[in-house]
Structure 1
């Protein structure tokens, strides 16, 4: 059973904040964590910005995410990732590689993924998703 007092914030939560997309704050767990994968995705967004305004906005988003101590990919996360990928294949489901690393991080720590991304399929053992 996932610990609903802590949630792993997916990259989409930070993008929602950046773009002004509403977030259902009542559904967000009391404590939050961030994967190093999210930090990487946000850093890539800064590098890919096409103008100074977008770069500045994206840098602010990256800085907000970096206020959290990033959860690293370790042996436990790697094992959860391999099992997750096997389960996805067995059920004929797809998930992006970065999303699967974020999901594996959440699974390894017993946390739900807090997201606005519909790329996290339902019905995967060990994966709990909170859509906000």
Structure 2
């Protein structure tokens, strides 16, 4: 599964991101990541070019929605992180719980994912 930070690294040409992406049989993208990419698109200087890149990436990925089981797991992980004083950004918490729910490793550049117990975090 890919996080937004991994997509940005891929788009910027980071070799390790490209290698991971190309080696994967399937690439899973949380709907949250797609939303973050579209938010970034609204701020960029080349919206047409970047929109095409996002569409190409989206076509290569399996888009993962948030379901009820993920929502329940989100609440558990949120509580654990809050009690530990180790909260991560809310969208990243959704992304982490989606990866955990589906038993997938999460490729990301943000080290705060390492705070999530039980997450198979693959750091770029």
Bigger Cα displacement from structure 2, 73-82 vs 19-28: 19-28
CA displacement 1:44-86 (0-9 Å, x = unmatched): 111122x3xx323421332133112310000111011111101
Question: Which structure ranks higher in relative contact order (CA pairs < 8 Å, sequence separation ≥ 6)?
Answer: 1
Residue of structure 1 in register with 2:123 after alignment: 131
Please, what is the CA RMSD of the aligned residues? 2.0
Unpaired segments ≥5 residues, structure 1: 1-7
CA displacement 1:80-113 (0-9 Å, x = unmatched): 1111101111221020011001001001111121
TM-superposed CA distance for 1:23, in Å, is: 1.9
Aligned length: 121
* Higher helix proportion: 2
Match of 2:114 among 111, 116, 121: 121
Unpaired segments ≥5 residues, structure 2: none
Residue of structure 2 in register with 1:56 after alignment: 48
- Return the TM-score normalized by structure 1: 0.80
